[in-house]
Amino acid sequence: KAGVTQTPRYLIKTRGQQVTLSCSPISGHRSVSWYQQTPGQGLQFLFEYFSETQRNKGNFPGRFSGRQFSNSRSEMNVSTLELGDSALYLCASSLNRLYEQYFGPGTRLTVT
Amino acid sequence: AQTVTQSQPEMSVQEAETVTLSCTYDTSESDYYLFWYKQPPSRQMILVIRQEAYKQQNATENRFSVNFQKAAKSFSLKISDSQLGDAAMYFCAYRSNYQLIWGAGTKLIIKP
């Protein structure tokens, strides 16, 4: 079974721009979660989607948003990028909300 | 709020020897899940082992085992017969409200 895939793997954007990251979960997995990883703040939860609905949201500003499609694929969007948004963005999928999460390789976003 | 603490920023071990990584957590919940994830230089987060709080028996996965002390809120990871491929950042995580709360990580160095 194919693992979690994330596209693109690397991205360079300019401050003020917006960006969309994509995540395809493991086949059959219905829950998708997003995390931000930075050297200073470590790993922080962004949001969780299940059955096309956002179920949980972490402590991030409204510039961070996401959605989930009927095939469980998920996208996250960051608008008005700031230098501090430079990070590794990890997507994780699980069979349902109670099961362990399996991670994709991440998208490395650099904001200049 | 739940917190996870990994007090060892870095650990080193000789190849083939045993090493223990520490993790403590704080929670008022009685039923929860704990995980150890490994993040090698490739940045892919890999699930190592999970422990259900209601199970008294410590989880084991091949060379990896945990020492779960619920009353002490301690969840350490023991790696036996360390191999070069075990070199990575190791993160302890607590699942709360369907999201993972992470420790700061321990960098494990394997000496050949």
Residues with Cβ within 8 Å of residue B99, at least 6 apart in sequence: A33, A45, A48, A56, A58
A to B CB pairs, distance under 8 Å: 49
Q: What pLDDT is stored for residue B1 in this prediction?
A: 78
Average pLDDT over residues B29-50: 92
Sign of the CA dihedral running A55, A94, B104, A106:
negative
Q: Using a CB-CB distance cutoff of 8 angstroms, which residues of chain B are in contact with residue A100? A: 33, 35, 47, 50
Q: What pLDDT is stored for residue A73 in this prediction?
A: 97
Residue B83 has pLDDT above 80, yes or no: yes
Strand locations in chain B (E)? 3-5, 10-14, 19-21, 24-26, 33-39, 46-52, 60-61, 64-69, 74-79, 88-96, 99-102, 106-111
Q: Using a CB-CB distance cutoff of 8 angstroms, which residues of chain B are in contact with residue A38? A: none
Sign of the CA dihedral running A11, A12, A14, A15:
positive
Q: Using a CB-CB distance cutoff of 8 angstroms, which residues of chain A are in contact with residue B34? A: none
The residue whose two tokens read 């948004």 is A85
- Range name among A25-29, A75-79, B29-33 with the lowest pLDDT average: B29-33
Residue A112 has pLDDT above 90, yes or no: yes
The residue whose two tokens read 């209601």 is B54
Give tens-digit pLDDT for B1-33. Answer: 789 999 999 999 999 999 999 999 999 888 899
Residue B50: half-sphere exposure toward Cβ, Cα within 13 Å: 14
Sign of the CA dihedral running B83, B103, A59, A99:
positive
Residue B97 has pLDDT above 80, yes or no: no
Return the residue in A9, A23, A100, A109 with the most chain B beta carbons within 10 A, the one to mutate for interface testing.
A100
- Beta-bridge partner residues of A17: none
Average pLDDT over chain A, rounded to an integer: 95
Q: What pLDDT is stored for residue B30 in this prediction?
A: 84
> How does DSSP classify residue B9?
S
